Amino acid sequence: MSPKVFIDGEAGTTGLQIADRLRQRADLDLVSIDPARRKDIDERARLMNMADAVILCLPDDAARLGVSLVTSKNTVIIDASTAHRTAAGWTYGFPEMDKGQRAAIQASTRISNPGCYPTGAIALVRPLVMRGLLPATHPVTINAVSGYSGGGKAMIAEFEDADAPNHTSDNFRIYALSQKHKHPPEVMRHCRLANLPMFTPAVGRFAQGMIVEVPLPLWALPGKPKRADLHAALAEAFDGERFVRVVPLAESDALTGLEPEGCNGTNRLELYVFGSDEQARLVARLDNLGKGASGAAIQNLNIALGLDEWTGLEA
Ligand SMILES: NC(=O)C1=CN([C@@H]2O[C@H](COP(=O)(O)OP(=O)(O)OC[C@H]3O[C@@H](n4cnc5c(N)ncnc54)[C@H](OP(=O)(O)O)[C@@H]3O)[C@@H](O)[C@H]2O)C=CC1
Ligand SMILES: CC(=O)N[C@@H](CCC(=O)OP(=O)(O)O)C(=O)O
């Protein structure tokens, strides 16, 4: 019998994309809730406890409640929310992050899907910290721009629905101005940084896709690493990974710009090392709903169930 999978929050932005992919799979049995009962706790609990794997695509509080409804420790839970990304007893669902991470995910039944921005930031920074190129105490800054689907149904309505109460005509805006965004603790922990990074996100009038950038003054780092040293560290860290592409320096040098939608519809994470030997611009590009959410959740599901990692999205 195929493993049963229940997506709590199937009607949301992340949940819908996962459901669309899983419905096409013959090796999994997707169990769906009656839309009219999607917030009925008893019905959610019933479906969760008949499933082999549950994917939570909910706001944080609803995700915490969802976890409490699962009675068996053997049921695989993949939480797409922020609720458990730094929590004890949860495995961080970024398989490429470290050589042992895939095995840790496979051995775990409590898997926290990474945030979209943290996926880019951790991929850029963690390998440098682990290899001693960037001191853990370095004051890291993360600049980023996301499509508006990053804010879920409410933000999609804000940008697309002229009748929405919060409708906006903004084409671009910076936000999280008070430095209280939910992502820095997650990035700090999984990059093994000693301090919270600064995080300066923006949202633009495009639905999907994102760019995450970490500027680094190489002249100020111990040992003054060169751009090629950073590139070599990233290339080594992600060697052989199907979904992470460290873009060759010659290819980066041929670019005059980079737009955020280039990985849309894929589970790909692209890493670039732009800049000079004095000042590097580390850049990650991904689809916030691909490797940033739905694609990553399906990849984690596949790993947890011992299946091929293919997500139904282009690699
Ligand atoms: N969008 C993105 O790019 C990313 C999102 N995430 C995370 O994924 C999670 C889901 O985000 P997203 O899909 O964007 O959000 P959406 O707002 O698009 O969807 C959330 C869904 O959860 C449902 N829901 C809310 N409360 C409950 C409840 N108590 N019981 C059952 N269902 C409930 C909502 O119902 P209703 O339809 O009534 O609103 C909605 O369908 C969030 O935690 C987010 O942080 C992670 C990475 C990227
Ligand atoms: C544009 C926008 O608002 N993006 C969201 C990030 C996406 C999200 O929901 O956060 P996770 O990736 O951690 O789940 C935000 O900044 O809160």
CB 3, CB 53: distance < 8 Å: yes
Which residue out of 57, 116, 191, 263 is catalytically annotated? 116
Question: Averaged over 156-174, what is the pLDDT?
Answer: 98
Query: pLDDT value at position 22?
Result: 97
Question: Averaged over 156-169, what is the pLDDT?
Answer: 97
Query: pLDDT value at position 1?
Result: 87
Query: pLDDT value at position 167?
Result: 98
Q: Which residues pair with 163 in a beta bridge?
A: none
Q: Is pLDDT of 176 > 90?
A: yes
Tell me the pLDDT tens digit for each residue of 131-140: 999 999 999 9
Contacts of residue 78, defined as CB under 8 A and 6 or more positions apart, other chains included, come to 53, 54, 55, 56, 93, 111, 112, 113, 297, 300, 301, 304
Residue 226, Cβ density class (10 Å: 0-12 exposed, 13-18 middle, ≥19 buried): middle
DSSP for 29-79, written as a single string: EEE---GGGTT-HHHHHHHHHH-SEEEE-S-HHHHHHHHHH---TTSEEEE
Query: pLDDT value at position 193?
Result: 98
Q: Is pLDDT of 102 > 90?
A: yes
This complex has an ipTM of 0.97
Query: pLDDT value at position 149?
Result: 98
Question: Averaged over 115-137, what is the pLDDT?
Answer: 98
Tell me the pLDDT tens digit for each residue of 283-299: 999 999 999 999 999 99
Question: Averaged over 31-41, what is the pLDDT?
Answer: 97
Residue 116 bears catalytic tag? yes
Query: pLDDT value at position 178?
Result: 97
Q: Is pLDDT of 31 > 90?
A: yes
Work out which ligand 1 atom sits closest to the CA atom of 288.
3
Work out which ligand 2 atom sits closest to the CA atom of 148.
1
Q: Is pLDDT of 240 > 90?
A: yes
197: its two tokens:
């990074």
Query: pLDDT value at position 315?
Result: 87
pLDDT bracket for residue 314 (50, 70, 90): confident
**Distance of CA 218 to CAs 197, 230, 298, Å?**
17, 10, 37
Contacts of residue 79, defined as CB under 8 A and 6 or more positions apart, other chains included, come to 56, 63, 66, 67, 90, 110, 111, 112, 113
CB 269, CB 211: distance < 8 Å: no
How far is the C-alpha of 155 from the C-alpha of 87, rounded, in Å? 27
Residue from 183, 208, 212, 289 to probe ligand 2 pocket by mutation (most atoms less than 8 Å from CB): 183
CB 5, CB 27: distance < 8 Å: no
Quick one: what percent of the chain has pLDDT higher than 70?
100
- CB-facing half-sphere around the CA of 123: CA atoms within 13 A: 35
How far is the C-alpha of 50 from the C-alpha of 46, rounded, in Å? 6
For ligand 2, atom 13, the nearest C-alpha belongs to 115
Q: How far apart are the first and last CA of the chain?
A: 28
Work out which ligand 2 atom sits closest to the CA atom of 113.
14
How far is the C-alpha of 106 from the C-alpha of 22, rounded, in Å? 19
Question: Averaged over 124-150, what is the pLDDT?
Answer: 98
Question: Averaged over 57-83, what is the pLDDT?
Answer: 97
- Ligand 1 centroid to Cα of residue 15, in Å, is 7
Query: pLDDT value at position 179?
Result: 95
Question: Averaged over 237-242, what is the pLDDT?
Answer: 98
How far is the C-alpha of 187 from the C-alpha of 115, rounded, in Å? 9
Q: Is pLDDT of 113 > 90?
A: yes
- Ligand 2 centroid to Cα of residue 273, in Å, is 24
> Residue 173, Cβ neighbours under 10 Å: how many?
11
Report the pocket of ligand 1 as residue ranges, CB < 6 Å.
Answer: 9, 11-15, 38-39, 57-60, 62, 80-82, 115-116, 149-150, 152-154, 288-289, 292-293
What the chain holds in terms of domains, given with CATH numbers, is 4-113+292-304 (3.40.50.720), 116-288 (3.30.360.10)
> Residue 255, Cβ neighbours under 10 Å: how many?
10
